[in-house]
Amino acid sequence: MNYYKFYASPLSLVSICIIFILSSCSFSQKSCKKLLSKASSKKYDIIIVPGVPLENGQWSKIMKERIYWSKYLFDKGIAKNIMFSGSVVYSPYIESEIMAMYAEALGIQKKNIYTETKAEHSTGNIFYSHKLAQKLKFASIAIASDPFQTRMLRKFTRKRIDSSIDLIPIVYDTLTLMPMRATDPAIDIRKAFVEGFIPLPERENFLQRLRGTWGNDLFKDSSK
């Protein structure tokens, strides 16, 4: 079952519309190119790549784009390491571990791949990944995702996490020039399967999920 699509209820669609409006759409491709140019002069200890649910046992277009973008940044030497972030949210598979398996299958060495498995919202991706990166003694950090999500996370990241974290949204002209496999790489998704999984909409009501989207509850417990 495609859990992600199944739970696209009217309430969740309302929340998506709110996010869309307040985030001022997304970075334009012109802005993305400028941010990539800026990032190209640096070498980041690690880039954070927010998770995406597995759909019907396969990666979605968005997941594929984020993983290939992280590979581009790694291959170019812009990122020394990659951290995929995401728990079990809308499907019974740990998002970050699925993405890590795909990244390794594409040729990124396992020693350069890290996973953060607690986040259930985009803000949590940054919050928990930043904490883990600090624990691992990584100093220079950037977020690498699609232009919409990167723009949405900009204010939260700068105001509430760390203003030194850079943003490297996908440049689609560059992405389309990447050599991509004719067939999707084979991975063993069973390794990321969680028995007894309960989808997020069955564990949290609309207001709880909205608070999670804004990241309001992340700072209540300093032990997180």
Spell out the per-residue pLDDT of the chain, length 224, in tens: 444 443 444 444 444 444 444 445 689 999 999 999 999 999 999 999 999 999 999 999 999 999 999 999 999 999 999 999 999 999 999 999 999 999 999 999 999 999 999 999 999 999 999 999 999 999 999 999 999 999 999 999 999 999 999 999 999 999 999 999 889 999 999 999 999 999 999 999 999 888 888 998 898 765 55
HSE value, Cβ hemisphere, 13 Å, CA-based, for 91: 26
Domains in the chain, number = 1
- On whether residue 13 sits in a domain, the answer given is yes
For the domain that residue 106 is a member of, what is the CATH number?
3.40.50.620
- On whether residue 221 sits in a domain, the answer given is no
Question: In angstroms, rounded to a whole number, what is the distance separating the alpha carbons of residues 176 and 11?
Answer: 35
- On whether residue 47 sits in a domain, the answer given is yes
- On whether residue 222 sits in a domain, the answer given is no
| DSSP state for residue 189 in the 8-state scheme | G
- On whether residue 220 sits in a domain, the answer given is no
- On whether residue 72 sits in a domain, the answer given is yes
Give just the sign of the alpha carbon dihedral 81, 87, 91, 92: positive
Going by C-alpha positions, the residue among 97, 106, 1 that lies closest to residue 64 is: 106
Going by C-alpha positions, the residue among 51, 25, 224, 76 that lies closest to residue 143 is: 51
- On whether residue 223 sits in a domain, the answer given is no
- On whether residue 41 sits in a domain, the answer given is yes
**What is the extent of the structural domain holding 143?**
3-214
Neighbours of 193 (CB within 10 A): 16
